[in-house]
Structure 1
Amino acid sequence: MTSSRAVPVTLAEIARLAGVGRAAVSNWRRRHESFPARIGGTDVSPQFSLTEIETWLRDNNKLKNAAGREWLWPQFEALGSRDETGFAVAAAGRLMSGADGVRKTAGDLGSADLPGLSDAARKLVGKALELGRGEGRAETYEFLLRRWLDVNVRQISTTPEPLAELMTDLALLVRARGQAMGDDDGALTVLDPACGTGHLLSAASATSPATLIGCDRDPVLAALAGARLALLPRPAGAATTSRIEAADSLRADPFADTRADVVLCNPPFNERDWGYEELATDARWAHGMPPRTEPELAWVQHCLARLRPGGTAVVLLPPAVATRRAGRRIRGSLLRTGLLRAVMALPPGCAAPHSVSLHLWVLRAPTAGDPAQGSGELLLADGAARFPRASARDSVPDWDALGAFVRSAVGALGPPGPADGGMSLSSERVLPECVAAVPVVDLLDDTVDLTPGRHITPGASDGGPRLADSWSEFGKLVAALGDTGRHLAALDLSDDGTGTQPTTTVGELARAGALTLRGGQQPASGTVCEGEPADGGLSLLTVPDLLLDGEPHGWLSPADAEAAGAAIVEPGDVVVAGVARAFSAWVHQGRPMALGPQLYALRVHPDKLDAWFLAGSMRAPANARQAGTHASSSSRVDVRKLQVRQVPLAQQRQYSEAFKQVAAFETLVTRLNTLGSGLVRDLSDELAAGRLSDTV
């Protein structure tokens, strides 16, 4: 009888353990009567005993490696509690790093090494230590940490590694310009007052020698960050050290007496309970008491208070901080004192929330020789305009291009000058595209709006190359559209009697085994994430996505997709939208993705049915009218009632080629419409700005 303490695993986890696809595991379960019975979950998302699965895989010669990381993680996850699992992972990393003075092995562990952990957690820490010896300590810890973050992705926001590296580079570049007079004392102190699991400090560890210090009010995150930094590789002779504390930086900062060369921070957004009442008279609010609704400005002033003279801070903030009326007085003070050096708008998708253009604020603490007030310019860079998204799905920025853009923007900062807080904007450099140097006096109005896009217009030389590229693509599309149109116009559509051939329905084809039909499901509340899918994640296509631009805007983790019973569509499957206002059918060509409600996946038997023929036949408008449940625009289409002509497979393939041409024609028309609309907008902007050459 299965123990009540058995470690549960899902079909997706079994697939990872065995190194096969999920479909293979489903086939094993269906074909082998000896496959273990489920011990929990549901019929749609069953769970099995890890021990029984391991035994079955071994007995059936399907076990590749029963001692790897994939086998270890389900046991950690089975601890149940987010905190206990996190503390156990952190303890394993701490002991593997030798942060206590010596690297431990499983046999060396005593109760004093793992205070506060259950017996089950202690055993798992021992297993992790043994695994780390064979597969690499840092690699094992990073794997466990990544899995822990994946499980808790909806509760914990992290700074993506490329963004962490970009923020570090930006801080060091700005600081290097501020140190041009030669007062660098060698080792850097880098602080992150809201460090989470240590992504920013980990990126800063490449700077050697350095002292890395961080703080987080969540003890689990602080423990994980401490273990992560302790496991970082230390080059021979490197003097990099780290210290992480679990505390609330705003209310009880353990580093109140520390002054850092660089502060990197991705603070929590929109938190009203940040200490407004008890911190009303705090000395850090040199630029004004932050309103209750402006916690981000409290973090900005905290970062400034922890900088030593000449130090640089880079803070990731939501765009509303640059424009909200409640914070205009503090923004104005930061400008007047010359502490705020630059505001850079990032393209959407750089970090959560992925749908908005987050801002990087660059601040610099004055030195003894700086004047009391600044009278210079603020550097504004609009990365959102410089790297526009082609579609809502295009949510992953080109980090190399973005890094080059940031460096070119920082290049506009000239050598130190006493006029504006230690650095001046170079008048000898031509500002890059989407970068502007705005006089501070022009920003000190009633709103003090620091949004880069409000103050930057395309340069006179920028529109030409962009329009030239658009016109070049426009010409290619017109040529392709003409070729496709000629092929379609040449089709002989005369009635030769084939239109009277018998028809069948999708439901009948499914019963005959010519195809399988699966319906999409509504995921559980809170399981859909924004942006590009993380490792193993599945894009989620919904009807609203089809009505917007046809691209998925969210994604699900494999576990959430399995729990929701989501229909997973593979390349070559036919997708049907079963609602009248978005009715369509097409052959899926991209990566596997999950389908939401009122979307259906049809997988054909290739010896009986051609996928393109099926999709083209179903999407006929007359077909949707006949299969609709009622006449309104919100009616549903009964996919099982959609009609398909009964013709031999060879004739299906003949029609298939024509349907492919129709699909290509539709794609070209859609893209041409989008590009043409963009050309109209760009041309209107250029002409309105008076850029028409006199020679025209």
Structure 2
Amino acid sequence: MTSPPVVPVTLAEIARLAGVGRAAVSNWRRRHDTFPPQIGGTATSPHFSLTDIEKWLRDNGKLGKTTSREWLWPRFAALGDRNETGLAIATVGRLLARGVSGGASDGAGAGPVRDAVELGQREGSYDILMFLLRRWLDTHVRQITTTPEPLADLMADLALRTCGPFVGEHPEDPLRVLDPACGAGHLLAAAAKAVPATLNRPAALLGCDRDPVLTALTDARLALLPGPETPGPAPVPVIAPGDSVRADPLIGAQADIVLCNPPANERDWGYEDLAADTRWVYGTPPRTEPELAWVQHCLARLRPGGSAVLLLPPTVAARKAGRRIRRSLLRTGALRAVVALPPGSAAPHSLSLHLWVLRRPAPGESPQGPGAFLFVDAAARFPRSTSRDSGPEGGELGTFIRSVVGTARGGVVAGGAHEPATEDSGATAWAAAVPVIDLLDDDVDLTPGRHVAPASGHVGPRLADSWSEVGELLDGLRTESACLAALELTRGTEDQPSATVGELARAEALALRSGRLPAEAAVPEPGHARVPLLTISDLLLDESPSGWVDPDDAVVVEPRDVVVVGVSREFSAWVHEGPPMAVGPQIHVLRVDPDMLDPWFLAGSLKSPANARHAGTHASSSSRIDVRRLQVRRIALSEQRRYCDAFRHLAAFEGLAERLRIVAKRMGRDLGDELAAGCLVHGE
């Protein structure tokens, strides 16, 4: 009888299984001689046997109150490569949809599949499938691009808001929704919820993708979606593998709504083979414009009066090679609006992606389309510094965009006589209805930032908030400056003994780890265990963390760790006091032994400019700091703590001053625009 295969688990997975933080697992490993030995992995990401870990947790009373599903994923992850694991998850969904117990075969995946099906029958079929699917997508985030669920909901809602009256004998007939690059089915799942809720009609879902594993997962996911409360049953989804642009497996299918997040920047999309394709009504897409091929493919699959919403890179709105097709889309009224999203809304997270809203004219509509084109600059309304709080996951961004498009629907987006958007809601301060004729210049640049300027009446409240924040910052600066001014300084003694960070690491007074770039960052979705990622670029641009990453694939900073930036231009050191955070290259993490070092004393000593000059590799502002050469005075722990309070006040003073600089810069832009526009009240 063969023994079951060894299932490896990481420290992050053990923490999830035990219901504790990763630091707690590291402490168990260090303090308990009975902790299971490492069976693989690396020094920074060791692997352990799932069976041994389960026994140790049980024997030591540390199992916690985790759900049974947490124990499923390591067994699926151990099945093999991406495709094998993905197909096993699809099998789980297919069996649950059919109400069948047991595995589909006697292979390596039969056991995990059987256990997942049994758990799904007890705890909810769709919930278990989505748990496994999200973990799989997290693991392979570099290879698979997904549309975050809140953004998918927004796209489905926009398509419904901008479509015209559909021609049909029976209003209760299903609304046909197509995603020609469906991936893992996020957009189709969003439409399956939005259509019944908005129109009280079921949705007929059509989708395809060139990856057969993704189509299998989408098919299983949609089969398990809760049924809509509509007059009739929803048709069975039709999901087929295939390349929509090159050889559409759903050729001839016509949809009322098309939602799509197409592959971006693909040069080998079939340009040579499709030069005379009948879909290119608005012009043959150049080789460098694959996204415009997808735009025209989506329009070709729309019924008259139907609408499409696509998520596209911002360069599609401005590249010279595509200006002829953009001009044709505008003239015919096929393209109705462009919405600029805040960076971080979807991958790639460094870009302000655009939503393109398109419509195929219905019978009786003017072939020239509306008289004006709608631009929405949500990226300006929600700058990156606040995108984590006001992005799609927070709901405020979605509410803003829905409000703007809903206000403009009568003329700009949905067709008919032009009716300029009103400003009663305040949302249209970051939107503009621009006459189409004004856009048909040599560039045909459809970037919202070029055409939208915030209305002056909406800058006043923001300035009032800024002045209030300035007052609070000045109060804080006065308090901290009083504490620092009261410090009595004396001349230091010569030749004080010191130690480098490298020497302290060898003495185990601290542990040194250097940041790295993990898998591609992503916006977190419900059920995802992710932490924000901070990079050197974020620090240079005064931006918030670049995105969200799997903590098991990153160097994570815990509270009371010391963070050191190893670049001369941004050299700094501070004690991390917030929630766990991942760091990128040239950012280092020092975790001190509290019995030997005080973190505040260490951070304050390391960030000395003289220390940076000593440890720098050369004199330029872009040089790196050799963190191991940074020095700290050798003094007793009690003496370190005497310096600790002074370093705390100094760090608080610098933080307040930096925040004041950022607020002042923002206010300078707002106030400068108002003064330049002649908004100063004239005296009598």
TM (norm. structure 1) is 0.87
* Percent identity between the two aligned chains: 58
1:516 is matched with 510
Match of 2:260 in 1: 265
Q: Is the 8 A contact 1:261 1:311 kept in 2?
A: yes
Q: CA RMSD in A?
A: 3.2
Aligned counterpart in structure 1 of residue 665 of structure 2, from 677, 689, 694: 677
1:374 match: secondary structure: coil
CA positional deviation for 1:367: 1.6
Pairwise CA distance, 1:456: 1.6
Q: Distance in 2 between matches of 1:543 and 1:385?
A: 23
Superposed CA deviations along residues 604-623 of structure 1, whole A, max 9, x for unmatched, are 44455433233223323334
Provide the C-alpha distance between the structure 2 equivalents of 1:619 and 1:253, rounded to a whole number of angstroms. Answer: 59
Which position in structure 1 is the counterpart of 2:233?
239
Q: State whether residues 411 and 419 of structure 2, in contact with CA within 8 Å, keep that contact through their aligned partners in structure 1.
A: no
Q: Using the alignment, how far apart are the partners of 1:343 and 1:619 within structure 2?
A: 46
Alpha-carbon shift at residue 105 of structure 1 (Å): 0.7
Residue 448 of structure 1 aligns with an amino acid whose one-letter code is V
1:221 aligns with 2:210: no
| Aligned twin of 1:447 | 443
Q: Deviations over 1:133-171 (max 9, x none)?
A: 222211111111011101110010100011001111111
1: CA distance, partners of 2:253 / 2:167:
24
SS in 2 for 1:686: helix
User: For 1:463-501, what per-residue CA distance to the aligned partner results, in whole angstroms no more than 9, with x for missing partners?
Assistant: 322223223322332333233323322333355xx7579
**Aligned equivalents of 1:226 and 1:641: distance in 2?**
56
Contact map agreement 2:264 2:313 (CA 8 A) in 1: yes
Q: Secondary structure at the match of 1:474?
A: helix
> For 1:77-476, what aligned pairs fall within 5 Å after superposition?
77-98=77-98, 103-106=99-102, 119-175=107-163, 178-179=164-165, 185-186=171-172, 187-206=174-193, 207-208=195-196, 209-235=202-228, 239-241=233-235, 242-374=237-369, 376-390=371-385, 396=391, 399-413=394-408, 415=410, 422-427=415-420, 429-430=422-423, 432-476=428-472
Distance in 2 of aligned mates of 1:184 and 1:465: 49
Measured in 2, the distance between the counterparts of 1:414 and 1:466 equals 27
Tell me the residue number matched to 2:483: 487
Following TM superposition, by how much is the alpha carbon of 1:597 offset from its aligned partner in structure 2, in angstroms? 5.0
Distance in 2, Cα, partners of 1:460 & 1:45? 53
Contact 2:137-2:144 at 8 Å conserved across structures: yes
CA gap of 1:225–1:388, structure 2 versus 1, over 3 A, is same
Aligned length: 668
Q: Is the 8 A contact 1:575 1:601 kept in 2?
A: yes
Quickly say closer, same or farther: Cα 1:430–1:24, change in 2 above 3 A: closer
Structure 1, 677-686 or 143-152: larger mean CA deviation: 677-686
Secondary structure of the structure 2 residue equivalent to 1:171: helix
SS of residue in 1 equivalent to 2:178: strand
**Aligned-partner Cα distance in 2 for 1:297–1:638:** 48
Q: CA deviation at 1:635?
A: 5.6
Deviation string 1:198-237 (CA, Å, 9 cap, x unpaired) is 1011111112222111111111111101111111111456
User: Which residue does 1:114 correspond to in 2?
Assistant: none
Match of 1:569 among 557, 563, 585: 557
* Alignment partner, residue 115 of structure 1: none
Distance 1:501 1:658, change over 3 A: farther
Rounded to whole Å, the distance in 1 between the matches of 2:52 and 2:169 is 65
Does the residue aligned with 2:239 lie in a helix, a strand or coil? Answer: strand
Helix, strand or coil: the match of 2:48? strand
Q: Verify the 8 A CA contact 1:425 1:437 in the aligned structure 2.
A: no
**Pair 453,546 (structure 1): closer, same or farther in 2 beyond 3 Å:** closer
Inter-partner Cα distance in structure 2 for 1:674 and 1:253? 51
3-state SS, counterpart of residue 411 of structure 1: helix
1:3 to 1:695, Cα distance in 2 relative to 1, 3 A: farther
Give distance in 2, aligned partners of 1:404 and 1:555. Answer: 23
Secondary structure in structure 2 of the residue aligned to 1:371: coil
Paired amino acid for 2:233: A
SS at match of 1:289: coil
How far off is 1:681 after superposition?
2.5
The SS at the match of 2:487 is coil
Distance 1:547 1:64, change over 3 A: closer
Asked whether 1:642 is paired with 2:601, we answer no
What TM-score does the superposition give when structure 2 sets the normalisation length? 0.89
Write the letter of the residue equivalent to 1:438: V
Q: Which runs of 5 or more structure 1 residues have no equivalent in the other structure? A: 112-117
Cα distance in structure 1, aligned partners of 2:443 and 2:624: 48
For 2:405 and 2:548, the matched residues in 1 are separated by: 35
